[in-house]
Amino acid sequence: MMNEDLQIKNHDPSLYNEDLKPIPVKDRSWGWFEIFNVWANDVQSLFGYTLAASLFLTFGLNGWTVFAAILLAGVFVMWLVNLMGEPSVKYGIPFPVMARSSMGIRGANLPAVLRAIVAIFWYGAQTYFASTAVALLLNALFGASGEPVFLGMTGIDWIAFLMVWCFQIWLFWNGIEWITKFLNFAGPFVYAVMIILAGVIWWKAGSGLFSELGTIFKGTGTYQGSSFSAFLAIVGTMIAYFAAVVINYGDFSRFVKSQSEMKKGNLTGLPLNIAFFSLIALIVTAGTVAIWGEALTNPTDIIARVDSLPLTFIAALMFFAATVGINLVANFIPPAYDLANLYPSKINFRIGGLITSGFALIIGGLWVSVISQIGIFNFVNTLGAVLAPIYGIMIVDYYMIKNGKLDIQKLFSTDPNGEYFYDNGWNKRALIAFALTSVFSVATVWLPALAFLSGFSWVIGAALGGVVYYVVTKK
């Protein structure tokens, strides 16, 4: 039975503010459609499209086998987020507050800070990528072009970048309601444009489309390995794509009215949504082969070949909506809550968003000339990888140690006798499990010998974290 009384009676100011407090069921407005759009916006990025199209071209598998791998990955990720989302639906709390139960009321800041750093970095990068769609539109409308004027970007590039940066600030400053409205618009809108694009490509390709579809379905590519290893590689790649959102999924599920609505949203938004999006990508990719003689997996290249101002206009809006959508889901909402958890009495959701946006201005502005050139990705990927054991620790702690029950009052209390105070606010057993298993996670980023694990390194890291934590805690 869901706890209807989520009012915090005696909270510590260092742990509580209006954004971190539990959301009562009566104040929640999200149903399955909102959750579906969280995942739709996560899938519908430029990288998401290129990834989906490439899966059919790279691994040399029959098309139905590729679809089966994609569906299996979607079902597995759905299972992961159902586990992580349940306590946040039940108690109305975001990820950093949920982490207090296993890591300690102070120890929760460790995963929160790690997640925030990764998200802030990619928030800046995605802000730049979203601005390229606006720049595409401005160049098409005004015929503008020119040489880079500052940090590798033209004047139009800078105008587009600042427009996107300001738009995102305006969006989050209006609160979660406006963010929800944007996500609910962007998800269906991007699908509508993708279907139109597929229709245009189909019309141009004619009967040649079906011939190329048949060729792709027979299996192409130069993957070195067995069919089974190729199948596992696709599953692992898709799981890795969603890993960033899995751990902080509670930031979204806390707005949902019931567990059943969350599960419906995850079912439609993950396996079914991924399969449908991949089908569109497959049709468009086959069409590009029929029309231009080569497989184009980058949507911007396809739009450039079509050479139609109306289509360029609509596509630019689609790229913008899709990229801002994934930015909000994966890279803005998480650090806004994570930073608020550090200093709740001074930092709320809006202030956390402003801090995130400030770093985004620097990271996005330096992306072309500096950051994309210096190989910083391994550093960011390392921080992302060490979050995997945290997932396992949190899940094992909630379901196997605490049997699915939390004392919501103690999550906001610094009482030394409180259940989540542990050792001065830190759960040493969780820290030991984290330290031991994060070594493996870091090794998968830096050691070429472990590269064969592909996307499964996150799953293995999460499983190791959970197992070691269970053993250490029970002892």
* Model confidence at 221: pLDDT above 70: no
**What distances in angstroms separate CA 452 from CA 51, 132, 236, 455, one per listed residue?**
19, 34, 11, 9
**What distances in angstroms separate CA 224 from CA 122, 130, 217, 228, 269, one per listed residue?**
31, 35, 18, 11, 32
Kindly report the pTM of this predicted structure. 0.91
Angle at CA 372, nearest 5°, toward 371 and 378?
85
* Model confidence at 9: pLDDT above 60: yes
- The fraction of the chain above a pLDDT of 70, given in percent, is 96
C-alpha span between 280 and 282 (Å, rounded): 5
The model's confidence at residue 5, banded by pLDDT at 50, 70 and 90, is low
The sign one gets for the Cα dihedral 21, 92, 39, 228 is positive
- The fraction of the chain above a pLDDT of 90, given in percent, is 55
* Model confidence at 394: pLDDT above 90: yes
* Model confidence at 433: pLDDT above 90: yes
Please give the residue that has the higher pLDDT: either 469 or 381.
Answer: 469
- Please check whether residue 205 is in contact with residue 291, taking contact to mean a CB–CB distance below 8 angstroms: yes
Q: Walk me through the domains of the chain, giving residue ranges and CATH numbers.
A: 25-474 (1.10.4160.10)
The sign one gets for the Cα dihedral 101, 102, 104, 109 is negative
pLDDT at 1: 39
The sign one gets for the Cα dihedral 65, 48, 186, 280 is negative
Q: What does the pLDDT look like over 97-127, one tens digit per residue?
A: 999 999 999 999 999 999 999 899 989 988 9
| CB-based contacts of 210, cutoff 8 Å, min separation 6 | none
Q: What does the pLDDT look like over 258-282, one tens digit per residue?
A: 999 999 999 999 999 999 999 999 9
Mean pLDDT of the chain: 89
